[in-house]
Structure 1
Amino acid sequence: MATYVEILTTEFPEIDTELFDYITGVLDGGGADFEDGEEVFEAVGGVLQEVSADDKNEEEIRHICLQMFNTLKLNQQQQHRGAPRQVLLDAPVQLSQISADPGSAAPDHQGIWMVKRVQNTTVDPKKLEKAEAKLKAKHERRNERDSLKTPSPLVLEEASASQASSKKDNRVDQSGKNRSYDIRIENFDVSFGERCLLQGADLSLASGRRYGLIGRNGLGKTTLLKMLASRNLRVPAHISILHVEQEVAGDETAALQSVLQSDTAREDLLGEERLLNARIANGTVEGMESVRLSEIYVKLEEMEADKAPARMQQQATREFSGGWRMRLALARALFARPDLLLLDEPTNMLDVRAILWLENYLQTWQSTILVVSHDRNFLNAVVTDIIHLHSQRLDSYRGDYENFIKTKEDRLKNQQREYEAQVQYRQHIQVFIDRFRYNANRAAQVQSKLKLLERLPELKPMEKETEVTLRFPDNFEKLSPPILQLDEVEFHYSRDQPLFSGLNLSADLDSRICIVGENGAGKTTVLKLLMGELTPVGGVRQAHRNLKIGYFSQHHVDQLDLNVCSVELLLNKFPGRTEEEYRHQLGGYGITGELATRPVASLSGGQKSRVAFAQMTMPCPNFYVLDEPTNHLDMESIEALANALNKFRGGVILVSHDERLIRLVCKELWVCESGKVRRIDGGFDEYRDILHEQFRKEGYL
């Protein structure tokens, strides 16, 4: 076996002489005291990390320390070792005295209590000082580089909520007598930093109904859900809540355990069962507790708690893709069966098949749902009511999204008619007042008319929401085909897992192509092969020499610098233009005024998407590749995106699950499955029929 000196010189060939002497001195002097490789790592791991020329990671350094410990251990076994002398003290040791006067402690006492150990080090003190100075300087330089790479963390504004509360309602809630599962929150405000999102709003959720919460990007839909989930807005204590957020983070928790933990009732019962069983084992359980244990077993049996683990897997949640993380989050929610289920853009990242399954499942959901969604087909299939967030208030409508559109238009027309009628009535009264103001005979009538004007309710004109517009510049010359194609392309990430073979795809500047398929089928990989970001292992990619692709990633937030404002972001990406040009570019995507100077991190999901569109279109590409472009966009923005793509004179290939966008824009539908990409002549209707037939065969319908 190599000695630790050989290991050191092999793994760190560029180590300084002073540092080498320092490390070997520590290992020479303390070799007998190290109990395992971890202690070697604690002693010299930090130094080795600093001197690593190839920036070895922590695990690699730990492994090297373990190897050096093994050589030290082997050397000790080959040497004569005597057992250390153990001493029985004659009297208690006073720690305070020893710490106050270390020199006065007896030698045996020092062996027990003193931290400092005498080491037979071969290091020259001057060399040691010099080595430590070098380490410190190198560490400072590295920190300085890291600080330049990593900007200081941005402190974001926080959301807050306040509401008027009734003492009677509070007493009923605290007494546990409130058994209603209806939710009524009156006269509440919600703010985000200094911005007021809702003022004097009312929210009513009847038990068992399914509500769709809609509104423009940035008005506070996600914030409202968070205020409910955190109970910053008062929801009766006996009502359980589960919140599925837009972006689902992963961690080390196994998928199975993640789902099981979401069912708090089950977890509480299992915890109580373990406690009571422990007391039974100790013989301390009482009669009533035995009865309670029986009740727990009945409840657990009703919940099929023993069968639950078979429903999921053991894979860590961080290992799932975005689409599968959303499926896992939904599985947690559906498994736990909360009284109030809050869903924030649940169709984000899901494929069409998963969306259709979710629609069918939620239609039979027994408790209350409040869902934020931009998918009008999903809303039409699932919700029983619509709640419209606008003008810092909430308006409720019975029925699905299509019924909301019709009712809203009728309501606005009536509001406008009432307003215009009142304006005419006021003008008529004002004409009488102005005509007879100075007529003594009509003074009483004038006063009566003035009082009538004061009593009339103040009506407001119809509020028209500003129209959302997106524009994709197309000031480029027409390119002659072929523009972009794949010929007999094969691709795999590893040889034992082939992904595609025999891909033959082509597109030109007239193309409007949508790629659909299940999560994990390889849709994004196809896009990257078309763009040339991935190199085929077989076959050929051909592209026109003047082809200029604009790419929108489904993880577009990763492409944005969140610590700067939108104007700065464009300036850093495309320097040399005026601030007015950057603002004009952002304005074309609805990022205007104060929004353009706000940190990108503080923008809503939809607003970040618009910034990403502004960044993507700045160089004026002649071909767009869009991966899930509708995620986080409100319905008005999706309509605007469809209009912009239809007016654009270049080519478009997109991956999307949004049925409305597909129907409005796409002329071709490609299905990605089983290592192939095939065209469906019947378009989206045929694809839906195929999926429904699969559901019927699998027993979901």
Structure 2
Amino acid sequence: MLHINDLTYRIEGRPLFEKATLAIYAGSKVGLVGRNGTGKSTLFRLIKGEISPDDGEINLRKNMRLGAVDQEVPSGPQSLIATVLAADTERADLLAEAETATDPLRIAYIHTRLGDIDAYSAEARAASILNGLGFDAEDQLKPCADFSGGWRMRVALAAMLFAQPDMLLLDEPTNYLDVEGAVWLEAHIRKYPGTALIVSHDRDFLNEAVTHIAHLREGRLYSYTGGYDAFERQLAEQNRLNMALMAKQEDERRHLEAFVTRFRYSASKAKQAQSRVKKLEKMQPVATIISDPIAPIVLEGPDRPLSPPIIRFNNVDLGYGELTVLRRIDQRIDEDDRIGLLGKNGEGKSTFAKAIMGEIDPLNDGHIKRHKKLRIGYFAQHQIDALNPVASAYDHIVELMPDATEAQRRARLAGFGLGVKNAETPAGDLSGGEKARLLFSLIGFHKPHLLVLDEPANHLDIDSRAELIKSLNAYEGAVLIISHDRNLLESVVDRLWLVNKGSVTSYDGSLEEYRIMQLEKDKTDKGSDEKSVNSRKQSRQDRAKALKSIAPFKKKADALEAKLDKAQIELALIDKALTVTDLFTKNPDEAVKLGQDRVRLEKMIEGLEADWLTALEAYERERDAADL
């Protein structure tokens, strides 16, 4: 489907890719991961042919249709449903021709072809995709111009999915989605008939949606089987084995150096000592996977906690002018609360956050009581956009610390990963992740009692998200988070509130239960049959029975995945051993054996991967049939 061979690409002389190689096979779903700035978006541009490599090649299957969401999102008077339907250009052209065609044979061909491409159910399919991405039936008839940029990005995504290209290229597709949309998308991608290459930093999405991980590091591409958790396990095991090999090599090096030191000047041992010197010079170091340190995100809590509650909503209606979005809110936030706010975009999560910040007042006679000493740190996309684009990160800190020394200001920035190089860069030229780190530095400066975070992880890579989780767990204050990143929510919050149908209520289930609920709701919205249950007990029994029925399929898939992981690690070790200088001249028998073992392992991996994909498809088919 897609083969990248010895790809080399440089930006201003700096190599971004250095002989990178990757193969993506038909039907696979590949998550492309790596630190911000390593070149993931550039790789997409290379695949689409927008730029050319300096060396190497990218081979796509002949006549393959690529699908990617353009930066220019739909914004005209056309309705959402019409915009999505227009994305299938073959259908649109055939329907237009059917209106004017007169030749009976041509008319017959047109209607046969329309049937082949399932054109007559197209409107239902388009509506289903739009519904999954958060647009109800009424929304679908509205013009694109009625919606904000974030919602129009969803329309563009819906149009691409509807067109069903042979290969999807998705760059951070969940950034404009809520939890509900992300859950729908991961299920849709998993069942998508084509191939997908997806850049994402959403750990749960990568675990649920993809079959492989492509890790971009140090200019190379490395392929791993399974989701993100499986990739991390393989990476850790590979590094552990490499470290063991390195320790063994260092032990040998010490013995050689000791012999040389002892006998260098001995007449009887001079030749042996010299041979060991040559061996030391030719000894290749074992390549370990370098873990670049992640700059911290230091969020200091208040010096003293406030008496609870720090915020109290009493019978509050919220909205704008004549429009009431939320009604009769009765909630409180205490000084040590960790709250995750769930609910579809447009239901009122941001409205509720603005009320906490004091940006909007109650519409009725209800009231919001805040502790008089309360300090709040607010992180939201519009806060990032409000950064002065011509002022540097250092300039922003000067405003907060006018009496501090330059060293103190720079230490503050360094504590958030903004060192000498990017501290002087205008905010408008910083990357999304660097802007996010600058905003974290600004909102945490006054040691707030409460952090209100609206999609705080959107611009952070997976490692930086882990650092944010670590920081929030160490932060001694209250936290309220709106995020589609379930891993972030699961790692930080201990309470869930649901914004739904004009209310803000406590949700007693887990995030996994909420995910399952959304998938079941999606099936209901599509009109699929659901098993009726008489009680919670009966439902649990049905679920337990279903899980038991699919357990053998899961066990088989897991066992094959484990064998595949082990074989790939063995192959990596053989490849490393084959790079030893003069191996074929000094130890030809060992070289031949390693080569034979490599061929055997490659064939084994190919067979295991095919068996694993078949077993995985069988497991997912049984899981879907069991409504799990």
TM-score (norm 1): 0.66
- Name the SS of the counterpart of 1:188 in structure 2: strand
C-alpha distance in structure 2 between counterparts of 1:423 and 1:694, whole Å: 58
Q: What residue number does 2:345 align with?
A: 519
1:204 aligned residue (23, 31, 49)? 23
**Selected match of 2:115 from 287, 301, 314:** 301
Deviations 1:190-237 (A, max 9, x none): 445565432222222112111111122232223322332345353435
Partner Cα separation in structure 2 for residue 580 and residue 318 of structure 1: 49
- Paired with 1:262 and 1:577, the residues of 2 have a C-alpha distance of 57
Tell me, what secondary structure is at the counterpart of 1:342? Answer: strand
Q: Look up the equivalent residue of 1:238 and give its one-letter code.
A: N
The partner residue of 2:255 within 428, 444, 447 is 428
1:644–1:452 Cα change, 3 Å: closer
Secondary structure of the 1:639 match is: helix
Q: Does 1:529 align with 2:373?
A: no
Quick one: structure 1 residues 431 and 679, their matched pair in 2 at CA, closer, same or farther if it must change by over 3 Å?
same
Kindly report which structure 2 residues correspond to 1:172-571, keeping only aligned pairs within 5 A, or say none.
182-193=1-12, 195-232=14-51, 234-236=58-60, 238-244=63-69, 249=73, 251-252=75-76, 254=78, 255-266=80-91, 273=97, 295=109, 297-305=111-119, 308=122, 311=126, 313-321=140-148, 324-495=151-322, 497-538=323-364, 539-571=366-398
**What is the alpha-carbon distance in structure 1 between the residues aligned to residue 166 and residue 232 of structure 2?**
29
Query: For residues 266 and 490 of structure 1, what CA distance do their matches in structure 2 show?
Result: 47
SS in 1 for 2:17: strand
Match in the other structure for 1:624: 451
CA 1:483–1:454 in structure 2 vs 1: closer, same or farther (change >3 Å)? closer
Secondary structure, aligned partner of 2:191 = coil
Contact 1:680 1:686 in 2 (8 A): no
Following the alignment from structure 1 to structure 2, what is the Cα–Cα distance between the partners of residues 358 and 430? 58
Describe the superposition over 1:385-413 as per-residue Cα deviations: whole angstroms up to 9, x where unpaired: 11112222222111111111111011001
Partner-residue secondary structure (3-state), 2:174: coil
Deviations 1:440-491 (A, max 9, x none): 5445444543444454434335523214422111243322233211211113
The amino acid across from 2:205 in the alignment is: F
**Alpha-carbon distance change, 296 to 398 in structure 1, aligned in 2, over 3 angstroms:** same
SS of corresponding position for 1:227: helix
1:457 counterpart SS class: coil
Q: Deviations over 1:2-24 (max 9, x none)?
A: xxxxxxxxxxxxxxxxxxxxxxx
User: Quick one: structure 1 residues 634 and 318, their matched pair in 2 at CA, closer, same or farther if it must change by over 3 Å?
Assistant: farther
1:422 partner SS: helix
Contact 2:309 2:335 in 1 (8 A): no
Alpha-carbon distance between aligned partners in 1 of 2:444 and 2:243, rounded to the nearest angstrom? 39
Change (3 A) 1:235 1:616: farther
User: For 1:260 and 1:695, how far apart are their aligned partners in 2?
Assistant: 21
Structure 1 residues 556 and 695, CA gap change in structure 2 (3 angstroms):
same
- Name 2:568's counterpart in structure 1: none
How far apart are residue 513 of structure 1 and its match? Answer: 1.3
Q: Does the residue aligned with 2:456 lie in a helix, a strand or coil? A: coil
CA distance in 1, matches of 2:458, 2:329: 28
Alignment CA distance shift 1:564-1:492 (3 Å): closer
Question: How many residues in Structure 1 have an aligned counterpart in Structure 2?
Answer: 507
In 1, are the aligned partners of 2:298 and 2:416 still within 8 Å (CA)?
Answer: yes
Change (3 A) 1:450 1:300: farther
Larger CA Rg, structure 1 vs 2: 1
Please give the alpha-carbon distance, in whole angstroms, between the structure 1 residues aligned to 2:15 and 2:92.
Answer: 38
Contact 1:500 1:675 in 2 (8 A): yes
- Tell whether the 8 Å contact from 1:416 to 1:462 is kept in structure 2 after alignment: no
- Where 2:299 maps in the other structure, the secondary structure is coil
Counterpart of 1:595, as a letter, is N
The DSSP-based 3-state class of the residue aligned with 1:463 is coil
Q: Distance in 2 between matches of 1:665 and 1:456?
A: 47
**Higher RCO (C-alpha under 8 Å, 6+ residues apart):** 2
What are the ranges of 5 or more consecutive residues in structure 2 without an aligned counterpart? 53-57, 128-139, 529-626
Distance verdict in 2 for CA 1:294–1:693, change over 3 Å: closer
Partner of 2:576: none
In the TM superposition, residue 638 of structure 1 has moved relative to its aligned partner by 2.1
Write the letter of the residue equivalent to 1:252.
Answer: G
Residue segments in structure 1 that go unaligned for 5+ positions in a row = 1-181
